[in-house]
Amino acid sequence: MKKLTFKELAKKVLEEEGRPLSVEEIWNLAVKKGYDKLCGTQGKTPWSSIAARIYIDIRDNPNSPFVKIDSKPRKFFLKTLVSEDKLKEIKKKEKGKIEAPKILGYSEKDLHPVLSYFAYTYMKVYTKTIRHEKSNRRRRYAQWLHPDIVGVYFPIGEWTSELIDFAKEIGSPSIILYSFEIKKELGFHNLRESFFQAVSNSSWANEGYLVSANIDQDDELLSELKRLSAAFGIGIIKLDISDPDSSEVILPAKHKNELDWDTVNKLADENPDFRKFLQRIKIDLSSNEVRKERYDKISDSEELIKRFKK
């Protein structure tokens, strides 16, 4: 039997089982069927790799065979095996529903590792927390200059070393820089201040996101978020603290090809964390090797869930 990608493996298992499955169930069944031996690489958490491939395919491929099922834990199925009425119902829920956690017993800092996990697992982005208190200016000023977390996507691992070297020679290494502004909750009471703080803090980056784990379900709020996102290019990420793998990009950010170098310079001058972040990127690009341990720690999803159950 030919080698299988994680996406092909998931599709094969779902077709054979004929029922919605979580990524852990897909992998366990694949192991029982011996399909795991057909994957070139597995890693320590192959189910996370399966989830990443499915999420990215659903997000970027209009003809994706997969569909998300609204359940805990999140399950996936195949469009061809879902009735037309059920498929319409699923699409409607995925388009307009934003669930809020029942308990708000956490701080914004508690959400940092959840975002780092989601960004690394599903966006292939390495993150770095920016501590405002280390800035040269007073904290109130820093809140409108520095994002809570910055991130970088490297082509390393996806491009050949020759292509990376060529890109460097022509001054286009194709890294993508991200800015993330985190809010404990997001509702009409803090929507405009939170959104425009994200706009201000993300002006320098290729992509900027406003992130929260508790977003009001009000239809008017979602409509306003869509309008603001379209107007200013800021994306929205909804974190799920009860199931980090169900976190998702609700509204994608508008990608900017050019960085705001004046603001990048200002940030580096003001904050040592951001300055070290830039230095780290330079070192990793020069060596063609990303030192994962130099960025924010990536916890596994089970550990993150336990933190919020305490």
Phi then psi for residue 13, to 5 deg, are -65, -45
Pairing of strands 235-238, 66-69: unpaired
Mean local confidence (pLDDT), 125-150:
73
Of all residues in the chain, the percent with pLDDT exceeding 90 is 22
For the chain, percent of residues with pLDDT exceeding 70: 79
Domain ranges of the chain: 6-96, 108-309
User: Mean pLDDT, to the nearest integer, of 248-269?
Assistant: 88
Burial 3-15 (b: 16+ CB within 10 A, else e): ebebbebbbbbbe
pLDDT per residue over 76-100, tens digit each? 888 888 766 666 666 555 554 444 4
CATH architecture of 6-96: Orthogonal Bundle (1.10)
Which of these, 185, 189, 183, 213, lies nearest to 201 by C-alpha position? 183
pLDDT in tens, 4-34: 888 888 999 999 988 888 888 998 998 888 8
The residue-averaged pLDDT of 105-109 equals 80
**Hey, is 236 helix, strand or coil?**
strand
Which residues touch 236 (CB under 8 Å, ≥6 apart)? 209, 210, 211, 212, 215, 225, 229, 249, 250, 251
pLDDT attached to residue 100:
42
Give the single-character DSSP code of 253.
P
Question: Angle 46-60/23-33 helices, nearest 10 degrees?
Answer: 120
Q: What is the largest CA-CA distance in the chain?
A: 63
pLDDT band at 171 (very low <50, low <70, confident <90, very high): low
